[in-house]
Amino acid sequence: MSRRVVLVDYDPQWPLEYAAERQRLLAAIGPWLVAIEHIGSTSVPGLAAKPIIDIMAAVAQLSHATSCIEPLRALGYEYLPEVERFIPERRYFRKLHGEEHTHHLHMVEYNSPFWQRHLLFRDYLRAHPATAQEYARLKRALAVRFPNDVAAYTDAKTAFIRGIEAQAAHWSAQGRPAPVDDA
């Protein structure tokens, strides 16, 4: 059964929720981490999002993620190894409050393509608010179209996301210049 798609307006509490969770993660698994970042739509000011804090934690080697499973379980995270068949370079954990997802933790190797792509996507949307709002409009339309199917909602965003990633790669290659006119 697929989950319901719930989008909400940007909440300025999200960075604070991330910061608090970051501290808990550092206390529990800090020795294995190289870096930790807030990613996903909740990390982009003004962007509508599913109210789930996405966190990307980098380890030197993906095998180190195994040592983190039990400490993360103690924090309320569930490890989902079955998703590795789709994204083998990531270890995925989720935290629930009742039936609702509150946090997704993506553990990857530092500076891996996954790491770089997600940070660049976030940074591009932060630097280009008009693109972020275009993305928000698409997300809202897709949430109406697929209200009870998160997988279909996610799949329908893919082409748009790939387009933003291409723009972001070009932007990065130019040294991440400020937008000329993003209004």
| C-beta of residue 78 within 8 angstroms of C-beta of residue 92 | no
Task: Specify the pairing of strand 33-39 against strand 90-97.
Answer: unpaired
pLDDT band, very low/low/confident/very high, at 4 (cuts 50, 70, 90): confident
DSSP at 112? -
Domains delineated in the chain: 14-173 (3.30.460.10)
Which H or E run contains 103? Answer: strand 100-109
Rounded CA-CA distance 49/2 in Å is 18
Encode pLDDT of 117-148 as tens digits: 999 999 999 999 999 999 999 999 999 999 99
- pTM for this entry: 0.92
Residue 40 has which token pair? Answer: 């996903």
> Is pLDDT above 50 for 74?
yes
pLDDT at 182: 40
> Is pLDDT above 80 for 64?
yes
| C-beta of residue 90 within 8 angstroms of C-beta of residue 46 | no
Helix (H, G, I), strand (E, B) or coil at 125: helix
Q: How far is CA 158 from CA 78, 135, 161, 167, in A?
A: 26, 11, 5, 14
Quick one: how far is CA 115 from the chain centroid?
Answer: 10
